[in-house]
Amino acid sequence: MIDAFISLLAGMSSVFLAYYLAALGHAIVEKSGVLNLAIDGIFALSVAVAYAEAVYTNNNILASLLLTAIVAALFGMLLAFLVTKFPISHGATGLSMMFLGYGLASLVGLPARNLQGSIRGLEIGYTIDVYNPVWIAVYVAIVLIGLGALFLINKTKIGAAIRAAGEDPAAAEALGVNVLMVRLFAGALGFALIGLGGAIFELAYVQVWSEGTGMGHGWLAFAISLSAGRHPLLLILSSSVFAGLVKYMTTIQAMYNISTELAKMLPFIAAILAMVIFMATPLRRRLAPPKSLGKIYFREERTV
């Protein structure tokens, strides 16, 4: 019995880590007031970048993780910069980056796949979903990261600055916060985590690639983040639920004898339900979203 449970946990450790990092990164970005509708596009792009880098470097995992984090962070900084410096719609900017992300993902992944096809025996990724001690390290890491993030956000000055920028950027500015710098930082850090999430999703879980790999999972991370009130520790809970759902989709399908399509729908239905449950209960008041999330920030005039 315990054995089955442990192998269950071990089996989903890769997806769990991927979702957790992506959701945490997303939460950090949004806490600074930047609405992140680009998440799915950048997640898909990260998946492709991690894959491509692994192919080109003969499966150098570290290089892939690093490169993906950097690429994603750059996009994060772009988003944060644009919406803070110009009085433009966060939603439109994020969405456009989503489309770009999808497009770029294909442009990055396709040549790499052709290359992989021509190299015999090139396997991608590093498996952790097995009954060996690595998965324990993953779970421990998640808890540690969560605690670290919680400390950063709630107990340090940079955390207060991030939250201030998310609550009321004009007031934050008057209080002495450089809102642009703070959002750039949150954007870089947050998107780096999203990128890592995508990279881990690809390298530790899917381990193959075709056009469209990863699409949709960014939105799951979005829903995970929202339904946990963007709280670093609660995120652990919600990402584990979704990780289980996604990893064991085929098992559930077999167990309850439902079609592939219905099984594929489940995570999305669950995501919508999770968000509805969160917003419909008092949870939403205790873990309220940042007041100025997505609001266009504009002073009568601004200087660099």
Among residue numbers 76 through 105, which ones bind other proteins (CB under 8 A)? Answer: 82, 85-89, 91-93, 95-105
Task: In whole angstroms, give the CA distance from residue 201 to residue 65.
Answer: 11
Cβ-based nearer residue to other proteins, 195 or 290: 290
Residue 297's Cβ-count burial label (10 Å; 0-12, 13-18, 19+) is: buried
Query: Which amino acid belongs to residue 145?
Result: I
DSSP letter assigned to residue 33: T
Among residue numbers 172 through 211, which ones bind other proteins (CB under 8 A)? Answer: 172-178, 211
- Candidates 131-139, 151-159, 201-209, 235-243 — which segment interacts with other proteins by CB under 8 A? 151-159
Q: At closest approach, how far in Å is the CB of 6 from other proteins?
A: 32
Cβ-based nearer residue to other proteins, 41 or 125: 41
Q: At closest approach, how far in Å is the CB of 204 from other proteins?
A: 23
Task: In whole angstroms, give the CA distance from residue 210 to residue 150.
Answer: 36
Q: At closest approach, how far in Å is the CB of 13 from other proteins?
A: 25
Cβ proximity of 236 and 146 under 8 Å: yes
Under rule CB under 8 A, residue 299 binds other proteins: yes
* Distance, C-alpha 85 to centroid of its chain: 24
Under rule CB under 8 A, residue 214 binds other proteins: no
Among residue numbers 252 through 271, which ones bind other proteins (CB under 8 A)? Answer: 259, 261-262, 264-265, 268-269, 271
Token reading at 143: 């808890």
Among 15, 21, 37, 80, binds other proteins (CB under 8 A): 37
For residues 123-160, one letter each, b for 16 or more C-beta atoms within 10 angstroms of the residue's C-beta and e for the rest, the string is: ebbeebbeeeebbeebbeebeebbeebeeebeeeeebb
- Candidates 6-14, 55-63, 118-126, 168-176 — which segment interacts with other proteins by CB under 8 A? 168-176
Token reading at 45: 């792009």
Among 114, 132, 250, 251, binds other proteins (CB under 8 A): 114
For helices 13-31 and 234-247, give the axis angle rounded to 10 degrees: 140
Q: At closest approach, how far in Å is the CB of 160 from other proteins?
A: 4
Among 160, 249, 283, 287, binds other proteins (CB under 8 A): 160
Q: At closest approach, how far in Å is the CB of 3 from other proteins?
A: 34
Distance spanning both ends of the chain, measured CA to CA: 61
Cβ proximity of 202 and 214 under 8 Å: yes
Among 57, 132, 156, 250, binds other proteins (CB under 8 A): 156
Among 15, 161, 236, 246, binds other proteins (CB under 8 A): 161
Among residue numbers 218 through 247, which ones bind other proteins (CB under 8 A)? Answer: 219, 222-223, 226
